[in-house]
Amino acid sequence: MANEYPAVNLSRVCKNYGQALIKQRVLIDVELRINRGEFVVLFGRSGSGKSTLLNLIGAMDRPTSGLIEIDGIQISNLKERARTEFRRASLGFIFQAYNLIPTLTAFENVKLPLTLNGIFDETPALKILNDLGLENKAGSSVEDLSGGEQQRVAIGRALVHSPSLILADEPTGNLDIETGHEIIRLIDGLVRRNGQTLIMATHSQEVIGYADRVLTIRDRKVVEL
């Protein structure tokens, strides 16, 4: 039954910031459908609304109006607690600034989503560290890792609990070109192998080559590029 639903479905989604006189309209009547297993790039300049859209799809923010469905679950009407539980179980996040917990080791960071979901088997965490080539860095403090290594730990953390949807916000923004490519290849390989859906916000042209579809935000609406 679940396969009948698209991975992401947005209908007439609007997002405003501020109130009354100083209202800022960031997204207007966004329509978007992303299928399962798709790798979609959200391309555009800074301030175009990419992160806002990612926040809405990632259940981190609420739309001003419209409907958002992820795997057939309407998240725009979910209460705070339910949205939190939804994020915990169904989503994986990769951020530009890695946002690892600095006081945990690489292994502990990767293991965190498992423990939050009540899974105490450490095998998936060890396996993904191996897949990411970080088996020798498992016990290291993340602060001692290079930028590329830290982003690989972040990828591991996003994928370890096998979420159906991965959201990546400028994952190569803090990395050099070569490391950036390596990271994109890693993410692409892993999500395709697991059949997961990936939405990546970026302004990097190089990433476009990996995507199934490229979208952009023009006049506050999502359009195909």
Partner 1 sequence: MSSLIYTAFSRHLIKHPWQLGLALLGIAVGVAVIVSIRLTQHSAFEAFDIATHTTMGQASHRLVGPKGLVTNEQYQRMVLAFPALPMTPVINQRLTLPEHGRAIELLGIDPISRTKFNPGGKVDRLWFEPEKLISEPRSAIISRTTAAELGLRTGSYLTVNYGPKTARLKIIALLPPPHSPGGLVKGLIIVDIATAQEVLQLYHGISHINLLINDNYTATHLNKTISAAYGDELELLDLAAESRRIKRMTAAFYSNLNALSLMALLVGMFLIYNTETFIILQRRKILGCLRALGVSRRQVLQSILIEASCIGVIGSLGGIILGVFLADSLLGIVSTTINDLYFKTSIDRLSVASTTLFGSFSVGVASTLLAALIPALQATRIEPTLMTNRNSVQPPNIRQICIIAGIIFFLCNLLSWFTLEYSQSPNAGFVGISLVVFGFAAICPLAIIALSAGTRWLLSSQRFLPERHGLRTVSTAVNRTGPASAALMIATAASIGIGIMIMSFRVSVSDWLDTALRADLYVSGEHFDNQSRGVKLSPAFVEKIERLDEVTSTSTVLRQQIKTPSGNVQLSAYKLNAAARQGFQFKVGDSEAIWVQWEDSDVVIITEPYAHHNLLDIGDDLQIKTNTGERRFQIVGIYADYASERGNISMSRNTYDRHWERDDYDGIGIYVAPNVSIADAASSVTAVINANSTIVVNSAAELKQTSLEVFDRTFLITELLRAIAVIVSVIGILGALLAQQLERTREYGVLRAIGFTIPEMGRTILTQTFLLGATAAMIAIPVGILIGVILIEVVNPRSFGWTMIMQIPTALMVKSFAIAVLAALGAGLYPSYRAARIEVTDAMRYE
Site string for partner 1, 13-52 (x = CB under 8 A): --------------------------------------x-
Stretch touching partner 1 by CB under 8 A, among 32-40, 65-73, 88-96, 192-200: 88-96
104 contributes a contact to partner 1 by CB under 8 A: yes
Nearest distance from C-beta of residue 221 to partner 1, angstroms: 20
Q: Would you give the DSSP letter of residue 141? A: B
Identify the helix (H) or strand (E) that includes residue 221. Answer: strand 221-224
84 contributes a contact to partner 1 by CB under 8 A: yes
Q: From the list 58, 66, 124, 148, which residue makes contact with partner 1 (rule: CB under 8 A)?
A: 58
Q: How far is CA 196 from CA 24, 85, 102, 191, 221, in A?
A: 34, 19, 28, 5, 25
Q: How far is CA 2 from CA 50, 71, 73, 150, 153, in A?
A: 27, 7, 10, 34, 30
Q: From the list 3, 21, 22, 81, which residue makes contact with partner 1 (rule: CB under 8 A)?
A: 81
User: Does residue 57 contact residue 9 with C-beta atoms inside 8 Å?
Assistant: no
Site string for partner 1, 130-169 (x = CB under 8 A): ---------------------------x-----------x
| Coil vs helix vs strand at 212 | coil
User: What's the per-residue H, E or C state across 2-18?
Assistant: HHHCCCEEEEEEEEEEC
95 contributes a contact to partner 1 by CB under 8 A: yes
60 contributes a contact to partner 1 by CB under 8 A: yes
| Coil vs helix vs strand at 140 | coil
* Binding stretches for partner 1 (CB under 8 A): 51, 54-55, 58, 60-61, 80-81, 84-89, 93, 95, 97, 99-104, 108, 111-113, 115-117, 157, 169
